[in-house]
Structures are given as C-alpha cells and as structure tokens.
Amino acid sequence: MKKIIHIIILETSYIIYEGLIKILNNSSFTFNIHFANNFNEMYQLNLRYNAEFIILNPLLIQNITKDFQTFQKESGNTRWIGIIYTHTDQQLLSLFDGIIYINETPNEINALIQKILNTENPLHNQNSQNEMLSEREVEVLKLLVNGNANKEIAEKLNISINTVITHRKNISQKTGIKSVSGLTIYAVVNSYISVDNMQ
C-alpha cells in the first residue's frame, strides 16, 4: 500500500493549478492535494495535514519573507517548492527546497519531487547573502541602469562626477561586471530594478 503524500498548493492561476494537479495525479506517487486560497489558508491546512510538500508561487510571499521564514521553521518537515513562470529574484528562490519552472515536463517535475524526498531536509539558508554593494553604490547603480550618464548621476545625487566614477569603479570591482548591459542584468537579477517597470 502506497503512502499518501499530502500536498498543499497555493497558486492564484487556475490554469497552472489545474495543470499541476493533472501532472501530479499522473505520477507514480499517491498524492492528496489540498488547495489554499491564501497564506492563512495554507497555514491552517498545514496544521491539519502536516503536508510533505507545499507548492506555491514565490511572488506570493515576496513581501512577507520574514513571516514566511518563521512559518518554515515552525513546520519543520515540510518541503517547499516554488513554481515560477516569470523571472524571479534568486534570493527569493533560495528560500525553497526546489523550483518548478513552468516549461518543465512531467518527468522533470516528478524527478524533482523524488529527489527532494530522497534528501535530508536542510535548514533553510539564514544568511540570505550579505549585501555586497553599499547603499550609495546601489543608488548609483540604479540611476546608471535607468539610463543616466555619469554626469546626470552626479547631478541627481549632488556629488562630483569623480565620485560617481569612483563608485562605478568599486561597483565593477565588487561585481566583476564592467559593462552597463551586464550591470543592468545584475540589477534585474538582484531586483534593484524591475523589467516590467521599464518599458
């Protein structure tokens, strides 16, 4: 007799929710799938079922990461799977035990679940990457990747252009990225700017 694995899904997209259920039900595992409408429902459901897996969209907890981490600690043996369909901050993803990308095949998704089941539950990363860049450097970076020239940055920050150049030199040293395009990608990946806000 197969062991029943409880899964809680918190996902606002009905299409993805139904697609996920279809894939999970076609797998070799026996799942009992519960649907949560929001973070609180997820909490209540997990109190009752002590789910092996909780699948949710990382974007739903991006503004409440502290609460989320507290919740993770309280529910020690639950594994967390993020499901993403747009670019998402790496730091956010690091809070999860595994990530399902929207384009993955059923086989890949099953392999992920199997892999997580076979590994020990690690403590989630506490040190969510110490900010490499200083406050001022981030300010300069933001203005830079928003299309400002050094001179404009200097004017907007009320500092000398020489200072801006020094900051940029330090940013490039710290990140190892010299080009503006590379720094733009860096800023996107680290959520200093949003792609969606720019066009």
CB 85 within 8 A of CB 16: yes
Regarding 29 and contact with its own copies (CB under 8 A), the answer is no
Close Cβ partners of 54 (under 8 Å, ≥ 6 residues apart) = 7, 8, 9, 10, 42, 46, 78, 79, 80, 81
Residue 196 binding target from its own copies, DNA, none, CB below 5 to 8 Å by type = its own copies
CA distance 198 to 146: 8
Site for DNA in 158-187 (CB under 7 A): 159-160, 162-163, 165-170, 178, 180
80 SS3 class: strand
Asked if residue 195 binds its own copies (CB under 8 A), the reply is yes
Closer CB to DNA, 38 or 129, in the complex: 129
Cβ distance to DNA smaller for residue 93 or 132: 132
Which one, of 109, 66, 107, 67, lies nearest residue 84 by Cα? Answer: 109
Looking at residue 169, its amino acid is: K
Least gap, CB of 53 to DNA (angstroms):
27
Size of the site for its own copies (CB under 8 A): 39
- The neighbouring-strand residues paired with 5 are 31
Choose between 75 and 166: whose C-beta lies nearer to DNA: 166
**Which residues of the shown chain bind its own copies in the complex (CB under 8 A)?**
12-20, 22-23, 85-87, 102-106, 144-148, 178-186, 188-189, 195-196, 198-199
